[in-house]
Structure 1
Amino acid sequence: MSFFQCVWCPAVLGSTLSGVLLLSSCSAPAAPSVGAPPVVSPDSTVRVAAGTQYLRGPIHRFFWGKHYRQLWATPVEAPVFNLRTAVPGGLTPVREGGSFQTKNLRLLDRNGGQYVLRSVDKDATKALPEGLRDGPIGRLMKDQTSVINPYGAYIVAPLAQAAGVYHTNPRLVYVADDPAMGEFRQSFANALYLFEERPEGDQRGVSSFGRSARVESSRKVFTTLMYNPQHRIDARWYLRARLFDMWLGDWSRREDQWRWASFPAAGGATVYRAIPRDRDHAFFKFDDGLLTHVIGWVKSNYQSFHQKIRLGDVEGLNRAARPMDKSLLVYLTAQDFEQVADSMQRSLSDKVIRDALALWPKEVYAQAGGEFDENLRGRRNQLKAVAAKFYELLAREIEIPGTDQPERFVIEPNGAGKVRISQYSLHAGRPDSLTGQRVFSYEQTRSIKVFGLGGNDVFELRGLPDHRFEIGIYDGAGQDVVHVTITPEDADKPANVMIYNSGDGNTITAPKPVKVEAYVPAATEFDAAGWLLRHRLF
């Protein structure tokens, strides 16, 4: 039997993987026997391993990585989950759910408060066609669950608390074969779960959600933002959460991994603050096998939790959240990034890190405590450099979205190599209100695209910006006004401004050298609903 006979196969490891190299001529060693589940009574404790099936022999580990296999196979002590005593008044299971990997059970307390049991073990094979799930690809996908630290979420809450980031409060529990689980008994029995609050609805009783009276999904919040410019995201708060993601090495931060705490603001507006959730991919360990190392080189978002964050890999680390980052952070400056990173770095002291790690079961701490202490401290010391790189990446190509309400965009030179863009909401019978403003420098930014989206918008170009900026104005839906004012001296200057006219009744005044080009808007450039496609939310 040759271990080096390979073929190219499509596969998914973790969330997605294509073109993965499989050792097709050999199957994985048989998993160790898990044994019969322990006999338990409610409110007792058990000693149980999260996943002995991930233990593998040296050849398999050489190709497919050591990962956290030993941690998965280590028995830990966990309390037996009791529906009647988990919270005052007890809990009622109401709905099974989950993603392609995690199995969830939603629970309600007597006041309608929502909780969730989230499986510690994962199964990404649900993303495969049914015929592939039990074959070599399915077995390999299941095996790569070992890249996840089964107890990683356990330490995130105290670290997030210190960093000033909202968070859930997971507790490790063991769900026994409990008749009180009713119709969910068979599906959820005899396994480890994380039990936590579900960030949804009225959370005035939960300080780690800001005691918000209304916590909402990304779909609802982003839709609200695109249709009503009165509402806004607390961008610095979101930035703090994103830097925290990078510190943890959590690369899977797509839109559905967030909830939003809402708070009333002046004039009937609403401010939303980010609540990260689902830390399954924090502390990812992937590149310690020959083939997984190659895959990680190709798939640069699959980054492992090491002592150093490679600045050249910051783009890959943040790829999943890039549409959100570009929209929500567009008006923050380099100084904002530096200040938030400095504040977070100072808040995450050595003591904070040690105290968080001490919450792990002693068996887990004995194996991973020293490594994690070293890695967390090393990555913390890089936060300002990582924030600067993150800013640099976002600043290269700017996209400024409007909403489906009338707005005014003012574009004007602001000194040599600089341009200022201001965004206003238009109001009948009262002054326009400034909703965003930023000065861009050619040293950082090459391309700026302004999307009016819906509503009858106004674009004002007050003079010619430095020609080294490539500036595009996209009218979108509605009957818009584009007005360019230049001095006689500007007429002989080079310009790099393009007005994209969809031809739906716009009024355009654009003397040379500004160019006007007819175009058919893409769905993602046309209106609010189209813009939401960028966020995979419509």
Structure 2
Amino acid sequence: MPRPALPLLFAISSLHRAAGQILRRWWGPLGLLAAAGCAQKDYFQPDARLPATTAGGAPARYTAGRQYDRPGGLHRVFFGKHYRRTWAAPVAAPAFDAATAASGGALRLGKLGGGFNSTSLGLVAADGRPYVLRTVDKDPSRALPGWLKNSPVAWYLRDNVSATHPYAALVVPPLARAAGVPHTTPRLFYARPDAPALAGDSLVKLRGQLVWLEEKFSGDARPTDVVPAATDLMSSEAFYKHLFADPRHRPDAAALLRARLLDAWLGDWDRHAGQWTWAQVPAPGAPAGRFRYQPVPKDRDMVFYRAADGVFPWLFTRRIFLRKWNTFRPAYHDIGGLLQQGHYLDEHGLIGLTAGQFQAAAAAMQRQLTDAAIDSALHRLPPAAYALEGPYLAGALRQRRTDLPRVAAVLYRRLSRRPTVGGTAQAERFVVRRYADSTAVAVYAPALGPDSLLLARTFFRHETKVITLEGLEGADVFEVSEIGPRATQGPRVAIYGNPGARPPAPARGLRYFTEPRRSAHAYTRPAEE
């Protein structure tokens, strides 16, 4: 767990202890029980299947996590109502059968995985297509160091899973399709405790659970019809290595912008680099060997996230703590926090787009995400879950759709304030024209021949404070000129070259460094996954 998060964990623990003292003092035995909830050894439900309530062939019903609905009203005041009732709602699901679950033939077991939350199992169909099976319920306390695993912090993180909507992933595919964003298509199953394919001690955390089965889009997967023109799929780590090494590999900025606006609209704040696969597509109209990379979002666990509906979660999600835990509601309340986790992708993929292109993308998405599309997608929720949340979510999505242009404007302004324009390991030519009210930047890659323009963007004085150029490696050339009076009063320019680069002539408001940028904001700093 990142060190900056530890003070917050101590704060959570202290607040929980303080709440316990108040409850014990003023609410007697009932308060003591509420405060002691963290001491439960067996926190999770033993089996997702509900006992039969009617005789004679009634279909089986399951709950994603009925333990989240146990606490009473006082607990919900302090720790949030969240989606507790939805986690405990009875739903139907087919039993997982490795022989028939995938269209590509019987699934054979692969590697057991999962990060600090869910348990996942890699699978491969008979036709070679990879899949992943992962639990709907989570245990984020796995991210804690050992000395905190039995603490109030662990209890709080487990309880806070109820802030996620257990079935939101079912809603995403048709909405993503309407917006022109590639997507996975998860399907809900019940993993029987006696499933032959899931025998063995290592798979005990999968058995008796509601699970998602979805095609795996990662670096070891083959291209599929999710991006029909794709010639390869790769992880963010592999994609950025290509991006930094060779100008023939460029991001598809328009596709990334659509995906990021969809993230914001759905309230999906957890969009760090590890949540994406990149589809390599031949660049249209360009010579062979030049590619554009389209983003394929995955892992939609945080869609419709609802945290700030209790006293403590409201405090924890303020800007000074966990601002990124952004609560889904009809009105966007902190767009900066909502976009925070995806800043690395935005800075590397969207910097060449203008304000007009941001607004055009938002307007197009408003037209594509119709009322009919929203209603149809929400009816993919299990009926019991739709009855609890469907009408509210529909109203919230409609209102958030109206405000998409403001989301686009905030994202554009955030990226324009201190933009970084990066080159590659090969030689590039950076041409900078400074005017009184703006600065125009163009980047050329001579190795690509006549059609070598990689980026052209004008940064305006009222939007941009500092423009940073990072040449990386190669014999880069930096040409900076001032045009007209007061040209040096526009945005400042910082250039990071290398010993083999050709620097510009000195000028006011211009700084040149011969060593690569080493700070946390360096263009080539690896993405955190």
Bucket of the pairwise TM-score, normalised by the shorter protein: 0.7 to 0.9
Work out whether residues 50 and 61 of structure 2, in 8 Å CA contact, stay in contact via their aligned partners in 1: no
Work out whether 1:386 is the aligned partner of 2:407.
Answer: yes
2 CA distance for matches of 1:11 and 1:419? 39
The structure richer in strand per residue is 1
In structure 2, the CA distance between the partners of 1:96 and 1:36, relative to structure 1 (3 Å rule), is closer
Distance 2:132 2:352 in 1: 36
- Is the contact made by 1:12 and 1:18 (CA closer than 8 Å) also made in structure 2? yes
Task: Provide the secondary structure at the position in 2 that maps to 1:165.
Answer: coil
Gaps of 5+ in 2: 21-34, 52-57
Candidates 233, 243, 251, aligned match of 2:251:
233
Equivalent residues of 2:467, 2:491 under 8 A apart: yes
**Structure-1 residue corresponding to 2:510:** 497
* Match runs of 1:458-473 below 5 Å: 458-463=477-482, 465-473=487-495
Name the aligned partner's letter for residue 27 of structure 1. A
Query: In structure 2, what residue type is equivalent to 1:434?
Result: L
Q: What is aligned with 1:474?
A: 496
Following superposition, the deviation at residue 495 of structure 1 comes to 2.6
Query: What SS does the corresponding residue of 2:11 show, helix, strand or coil?
Result: strand
**Runs (4+) off by over 6 Å:** 9-13
**Paired residues of 2:492 and 2:509 also in contact (CA < 8 A):** yes
2:213 aligned partner, one-letter code: F
String of CA shifts for 1:342-392, please: whole Å, max 9, x gaps: 111100000000000111111011000111000110101111121112111
- 1:269-348 alignment, distance < 5 Å: 269-297=290-318, 298=320, 299-310=322-333, 313-348=334-369
**Aligned-pair distance for 1:264?**
1.5
Counterpart mapping for 1:131-142 below 5 A: 131-142=147-158
Partner letter of residue 73 of structure 2? P
Task: Find the aligned partners of 1:321 and 1:521 in 2 and give their Cα distance.
Answer: 21
In 1, distance between residues paired with 2:131 and 2:408?
A: 34
Distance 1:534 1:62, change over 3 A: same
Query: Structure 2 residue aligned with 1:424, among 438, 444, 455?
Result: 444
- CA–CA separation in structure 1 for the residues paired with 2:209 and 2:493: 56
Q: Distance in 2 between matches of 1:403 and 1:249?
A: 34
- Cα distance in 1 for partners of 2:317, 2:44 equals 31
Question: How far apart are residue 501 of structure 1 and its match?
Answer: 3.0
SS in 2 for 1:260: strand
The count of residues paired between Structure 1 and Structure 2 equals 489
In 2: Cα distance, 1:185 partner to 1:427 partner: 52
Q: Distance in 1 between matches of 2:524 and 2:510?
A: 26
The one of 184, 187, 193 equivalent to 2:205 is 187
Alignment of 1:133-532 (within 5 A): 133-177=149-193, 178-183=195-200, 184-200=202-218, 201=220, 203-206=222-225, 208-210=226-228, 212-265=230-283, 266-267=286-287, 268-297=289-318, 298=320, 299-310=322-333, 313-413=334-434, 415-427=435-447, 430-431=449-450, 433-463=452-482, 465-475=487-497, 477-484=498-505, 495-502=508-515, 521-522=517-518, 531-532=523-524
Provide the residue aligned with 2:525 in structure 1: 533
Deviations along 1:264-310, one digit per CA (max 9) or x if unpaired, are: 22221111100011111111100100111111123221111100113
SS at match of 2:493: strand
Q: What is the identity, as a one-letter code, of the residue corresponding to 2:294?
A: R
Give the drift of 1:399. 0.7
Alignment deviations for residues 100-128 of structure 1 (CA, whole Å, 9 cap, x no partner): 11211111011221111121000101111
Amino acid aligned to 2:269: W
> C-alpha distance in 2, partners of 1:495/1:36?
69
Cα deviation for residue 443 of structure 1 reads: 1.4
2:36 alignment partner, SS class: coil
- Alignment partners' CA distance in 2, 1:522 and 1:98: 32
Paired residues of 2:417 and 2:466 also in contact (CA < 8 A) = yes
Alignment of 1:80 with 2:95, yes or no, is yes
Classify the secondary structure of the residue corresponding to 1:287.
Answer: coil
One-letter amino acid of the structure 2 residue matched with residue 375 of structure 1: A
Aligned-pair CA distance for 1:204: 4.7
CA distance in 1, matches of 2:44, 2:163: 21
Deviates more, 1:316-325 or 1:159-168: 316-325
**Cα displacement (A) at 1:141:** 1.2
Cα separation, partners in 2 of 1:327 and 1:38, compared to 1, 3 Å? closer
Aligned residues of 2:48 and 2:63 also touching (Cα < 8 A): no
Of the three residues 127, 132, 144, the one matched with 1:116 is: 132
Counterpart CA distance in 1 for 2:86 and 2:470 is 49
Once the two structures are superposed, what CA deviation does each residue of 1:2-36 show, in whole Å capped at 9, x if it has no partner? xxxxxxx99779xx856335321332276899466
Q: Could you tell me which amino acid in structure 2 is paired with residue 441 of structure 1?
A: F
Q: 1:211 to 1:70 in 2, by over 3 A?
A: farther
Q: 2 CA distance for matches of 1:459 and 1:333?
A: 23
Q: What's the CA shift string for 1:71-112, capped at 9, x where partnerless?
A: 111111111011000124210111111111121111101122
For residues 366 and 397 of structure 2, the distance between their equivalents in structure 1, rounded to whole angstroms, comes to 11
CA distance in structure 1 between the aligned counterparts of 2:280 and 2:116, rounded to whole angstroms: 29
With over 3 angstroms needed to count, the CA separation of the structure-2 counterparts of 1:320 and 1:33, relative to structure 1, is: closer
SS of equivalent residue, structure 1 residue 188: coil
TM-score by length of structure 2 reads 0.87
Amino acid in structure 2 at the alignment position of 1:522: R
Q: Is the 8 A contact 2:466 2:492 kept in 1?
A: yes
Q: 1:171 to 1:17 in 2, by over 3 A?
A: farther
Partner of 2:54: none
Q: RMSD across aligned C-alpha pairs, in angstroms? A: 2.5
Could you list the per-position Cα deviations for residues 311-353 of structure 1 after superposition, in whole angstroms to 9, with x for gaps in the alignment?
xx21111111112211211110001101111111100000000
- Is the 8 Å Cα contact of residues 455 and 478 (structure 1) preserved in structure 2? no
The Cα offsets for residues 155-213 of structure 1, whole Å up to 9 and x where unpaired, read as 0111111111110001111111211224454331110011111113565543x334523
- 1:509 aligned residue: none
| Amino acid aligned to 2:323 | S
Contact 2:77 2:311 (8 Å CA) reproduced: yes
Give the residue type in structure 1 aligned to 2:412. Y
Higher relative CO (Cα under 8 Å, sequence separation at least 6) belongs to 2
8 A contact 2:168–2:381 mirrored in 1: no
Structure 1: 5+ residue stretches without partners: 1-8, 486-493, 503-519
What is the letter of the counterpart of residue 198 of structure 2?
A: M
1:93 and 2:86 aligned: no
TM-score normalised over the length of structure 1: 0.86
